[in-house]
Structure 1
Amino acid sequence: MQDKVIILGAGLPEGVGGALARRFAREDLHVFVSGRTLEKVEQTAAQITASGGSAEAIEADVTSEDDLDALFSKAGEREGALAAVIYNAGNNMPIPFADLSPEQFEFYWRVGCYGGFLTAKRAMPILEAQGEGSMLFTGASASLRGKPMFGHFAAAKAALRNLAQSLAREYGPKGVHVAHIIIDGVVNGDRAQTNFGDYLDNLGPDGALDPDAIADAYWTIHAQQRSAWTHELDLRPFSETW
């Protein structure tokens, strides 16, 4: 019987979500690859199955309760334990505070934090009933500090971090490993390659975070023995100024 993992905000194979899906599939887990754009997650799932892994793509908006209900219902139909749920959804762009609208602020909060809450509401009862499993959240530099023109993003990511801390304290003693991973730096994934190719070149070799290296860190946290769990881990390139 094959255990399973749900990855939310998976996206294309070249991004962090795609790397997470590949990494967990390598451990003989069936991966539910979910994201807002079905075409993107289908590419990731197809890559996994082509290499001998087990995966299926599901379109899901993390801010939609109906979408999340459908996703977790689909996962529940498949036999095996729910080994992990990974909340990797997020988006970001600089907006001067003077130009930031209430609608924009709410939008970033809904994706950056509220979707994590909705996901945890569905994941934690399952993991608690099992007495094991991981709930992992993707954080960012903004989880710890707010920079100019990123107040909307920082507010959402800081809230997600505190939600993760609260869940860890409540559900850790029940056997559920809750962890928050801070990605501090530019990720050498599809978004940066498409929009900031010259910037990546200027960073030099290993100057941006490699998605597969990030995924290795997530797997290490998931596989930890419970007498020595990590709750929070920050990842950054060796050359990053911090």
Structure 2
Amino acid sequence: MNDIPYRSALVIGAGTGISASVTRLLRAADIPVVVAARNIDKLAPLVKQTGAIALPVDATDAAQVEQLFAETEARIGAPEIVVYNASGRVRGPIADLDPAEVEHAVAVSALGAFYAVQQAARRMVPAGKGAILLTGATAGVKGFALSAPFAMGKFALRGLAQSAARELAPKGIHVAHVVIDGGVRAEHRADPPDRPDSTLDPDAIAQSYIDLLRQHRSAWSWELEVRPWVENF
């Protein structure tokens, strides 16, 4: 039985990790899903496996995000679940960073999330229902050396989530920020034999997202941290 109280979903910044796992679980619950990314060619296997609809978007472009929501609404109805999973990374010493690259990285992590939350709110507020899940990171809680742009974007994302939760929760919209505190397992990053489950299993992360969606409004979480059992914090 599907006990997720939402009928449609849009996943922005989709790829082969967390967002793919979330998509599979939502589709298993018979919820139609649109997956969006700058390059949708990489989503072909996920689309074939799940029946999700892939649409292109540059999340840093407000007009493209607005068009994405309009097309999503035309395809599956106004999204009642919006997952923002896009982020930008630029590494290096602060003195050497290219300002244009930093601007773009912060735009992907933070401004794109704002555009998505704004479009979601315009549809969810009149309906009095919806869920917005924002994928954060350790960098949104503590900034690491040589990673200032990522920290800037993720700190801004966390602030957006907290502000949006306080504004939108009383209007029936569940906003939650998920801190991914550790490395996410992938084909190119397997756990070493002597440290099993030392990275986050994307399927396990996705299950936490689904658990958030199932929360009763009398006990909503605005923030959730997930980390491997051996991760320092």
Q: TM-score, normalised by structure 2?
A: 0.92
Take 1:210 and 1:146, find their aligned partners in 2: how far apart are those partners? 23
Correspondence for 1:4:
8
In the alignment, which of 98, 102, 107 is matched to residue 99 of structure 2? 102
- With over 3 angstroms needed to count, the CA separation of the structure-2 counterparts of 1:79 and 1:183, relative to structure 1, is closer
State whether residues 34 and 72 of structure 2, in contact with CA within 8 Å, keep that contact through their aligned partners in structure 1: yes
The answer as to 2:156 corresponding to 1:159 is yes
1:44-55 equivalences in 2 (<5 Å): 44-49=46-51, 55=52
Correspondence for 1:206:
197
State whether residues 10 and 81 of structure 2, in contact with CA within 8 Å, keep that contact through their aligned partners in structure 1: yes
Shift of residue 24, structure 1, vs aligned partner: 1.3
State whether residues 90 and 149 of structure 2, in contact with CA within 8 Å, keep that contact through their aligned partners in structure 1: no
State whether residues 161 and 180 of structure 1, in contact with CA within 8 Å, keep that contact through their aligned partners in structure 2: yes
Correspondence for 2:211:
220
- Which runs of 5 or more residues in structure 1 are unaligned? 50-54
Aligned amino acid, residue 45 of structure 2: Q
CA-atom RMSD in angstroms:
1.6
In the alignment, which of 207, 215, 227 is matched to residue 236 of structure 1? 227
- With over 3 angstroms needed to count, the CA separation of the structure-2 counterparts of 1:203 and 1:20, relative to structure 1, is farther
State whether residues 3 and 81 of structure 1, in contact with CA within 8 Å, keep that contact through their aligned partners in structure 2: no
Shift of residue 99, structure 1, vs aligned partner: 1.3
1:122-159: CA deviations, max 9, x gaps?
Answer: 11111111111101100000010111101111011001
**Secondary structure at the counterpart of residue 233 of structure 1:** strand
Correspondence for 2:21:
19
In the alignment, which of 63, 88, 93 is matched to residue 60 of structure 2? 63
Structure 1 ranges of 4+ moved more than 2 A: 78-83, 91-94, 200-204
The answer as to 2:38 corresponding to 1:36 is yes
Aligned amino acid, residue 217 of structure 2: R
- With over 3 angstroms needed to count, the CA separation of the structure-2 counterparts of 1:16 and 1:65, relative to structure 1, is same
1:2-44: CA deviations, max 9, x gaps?
Answer: 92100001112xx111111111111110000111111112221
State whether residues 91 and 108 of structure 1, in contact with CA within 8 Å, keep that contact through their aligned partners in structure 2: yes
The answer as to 2:73 corresponding to 1:76 is yes
Take 1:45 and 1:20, find their aligned partners in 2: how far apart are those partners? 13
**Secondary structure at the counterpart of residue 142 of structure 1:** helix
Aligned amino acid, residue 229 of structure 1: W
Q: TM-score, normalised by structure 1?
A: 0.89
Correspondence for 2:138:
141
- With over 3 angstroms needed to count, the CA separation of the structure-2 counterparts of 1:140 and 1:203, relative to structure 1, is farther
Shift of residue 175, structure 1, vs aligned partner: 0.3
Take 1:203 and 1:183, find their aligned partners in 2: how far apart are those partners? 22
Correspondence for 1:85:
82
Aligned-pair identity (%): 38
Aligned amino acid, residue 159 of structure 1: A
